[in-house]
Chain A
């Protein structure tokens, strides 16, 4: 029986991008279904009853929610191709620690850059830079966060790259100046087909931000 894989997603979501990349890395054929978050479809409401958010991965009719959990699920269901997580328990824990760090820290500070003003905006920008310097330090001189292999932590972070141009514009700063090694890492990642296919154009995101602010009621 062929696998039926559906992804409910929203094109600018850096979380949805994680799942897209993971599926592409594994060469899994999936049905991408764009969602209107301001007019939620019955399938979204049914498949993510608890949070009503994207991305939702539906595998043979059963939903899996939360992007990092989806990544692990994809890795466990399609284990023979391109492992996303290392097999060594300590390396796995290390990767999950950084995935958790990215989840807890990046979005919040980034949101203040494009979504807030005055002191809050400045605080968000400062925190964003600090967080990325920490990540850059963790990357060190490695090719990818996992070493020579592209994996879980790289996938957890790379979606934000499509938003970097927007952050730079609204924050009036250069991420490359602050974190050159991290930018070099992003350039390596986007050369991968899975990433190139899954990330939208930065320009499209930057143009979208004012519309998003309006939808969210942010002035």
Chain B
């Protein structure tokens, strides 16, 4: 059986972390078996076996070995399938910059947006401000580029999938507004291009 086969992904349909991995698998044309996990209900024995440390999704299983943490998985896919659609640049400095911004999205922006939308009201103003500032920073970093990765979707775009798709839903559901088209024209344009991509569109939740 060749290396291309035996790829399984344990995921959660609504999770931006899970979708990051699916997006990269699709972009690279890697076939995989998807296994939906009831993460909030009953964690399966398979999940507990393949991610005993965090017991979370996504988990990629390739030839029987598991990898957890979405951005670690994305880099693993990049390292293993050196085929079309490179997710990371070749130059070490550019790679470091991509990793920096992806971490920024994860550690600062996503967390602040989540806290702003779902956290205690007493903290809301502070978290909204932090989320707003974080998004402004990303807007500046994107600048005139089509995608964070340049002409094609790259590591930071994948990491920022939450902004491309989920932020609108969160804002609507929580009634908290952080990112508007008027205040963030660049990110707005980027998110339309991002979710408009055929491979990305294919994996987004309905």
Q: Which of A70, A72, A76, A89 has the largest count of B CB atoms less than 10 A from its CB?
A: A89
The total number of A-B Cβ pairs within 8 Å is 55
Interface residues on B, range: 20 to 34
User: Mask for B74-98, Cβ within 8 A of A = 1, else 0?
Assistant: 0110011000000000001101100
Is B67 touching A134 in the complex (CB atoms < 8 A)? no
Q: Which residue of B72, B92, B96 contacts A96 across the interface (Cβ within 8 Å)?
A: B72
Q: Identify the stretch in A20-28, A31-39, A58-66, A171-179 within 8 Å (CB) of chain B at 4 or more residues.
A: A58-66
What CA separation (Å) do A59 and B137 show in the bound complex? Answer: 23
**Interface of A (DSSP majority class):** helix
A73 adjacent to chain B (CB < 8 Å): yes
Is B75 touching A66 in the complex (CB atoms < 8 A)? no
User: Mask for A118-145, Cβ within 8 A of B = 1, else 0?
Assistant: 0000000000000000100000000000
Is A90 touching B76 in the complex (CB atoms < 8 A)? yes
**Known contacts being A89-B80, A96-B72, is A65 close to B100, with CB within 8 Å?**
yes
CB interface residues, A 158-217, toward B, < 8 Å: none
Is A97 touching B103 in the complex (CB atoms < 8 A)? no
A131 to B: closest C-beta gap in Å: 10
Is B137 touching A73 in the complex (CB atoms < 8 A)? no
Is B137 touching A50 in the complex (CB atoms < 8 A)? yes
Q: Which residue of B62, B75, B92 contacts A73 across the interface (Cβ within 8 Å)?
A: B92
B90 to A: closest C-beta gap in Å: 10
Q: Which residues of B contact A (CB under 8 A)?
A: 53, 62, 65, 67-69, 72-73, 75-76, 79-80, 92-93, 95-96, 99-100, 103-104, 137
- A/B interface sample: 7 pairs, CB < 8 A: A50-B104, A69-B103, A73-B95, A93-B75, A96-B72, A97-B67, A100-B69
